Amino acid sequence: MGEYSKALSSHERSLEIRKIALPPNHPDLATSYNGIGLVYDNMSEYSKALSSQERSLEIRKIALPSNHPDFAQSYNNIGMVYYNMGEIKDENNFKSVTAIVKDLKEANLRRIQVESHRIIKDNPNVG
């Protein structure tokens, strides 16, 4: 338990510094809340873990585009807290993770196709 309390203390210090240095809905604040939530989850303090993970998600909803990969992390972590509590309560979290990953795969595929086309166009001897 000693290592978890050290980790929690570090994450909380990081959060306090970020609260002073950053705007109230900066994505780095979400990262701090995420880390705090993970530590609480490992300590089996599930209500605190859930609260931290939900705060992280709230900030991300304000600060990031809806298909940002950090949403998959948030939904996954919230789902894992429920799982560890013995409750698979919010099936929508898992559906959201799946949708985000699918969107990211499609976006990356399009980006690769565009980049490949540009390389071939600029270097006709390559293709």
Q: What is the pLDDT of residues 56-103, one digit of tens each?
A: 999 999 999 988 889 888 988 988 888 888 876 556 656 665 665 666
Question: What pLDDT sits at residue 83?
Answer: 83
Q: Which domains does the chain have, with CATH numbers?
A: 2-122 (1.25.40.10)
Kindly report the length of the chain. 127
| The predicted structure's pLDDT at residue 60 | 95
pLDDT band at 1 (very low <50, low <70, confident <90, very high): low
Which pLDDT belongs to residue 126?
Answer: 60
Flag whether the pTM goes above 0.85.
no
User: What is the token pair recorded at 59?
Assistant: 């900030």
Question: Once rounded to an integer, what is the mean pLDDT over residues 25-40?
Answer: 97
Cβ-based neighbours of 54, under 8 Å, separated by 6 or more: 78
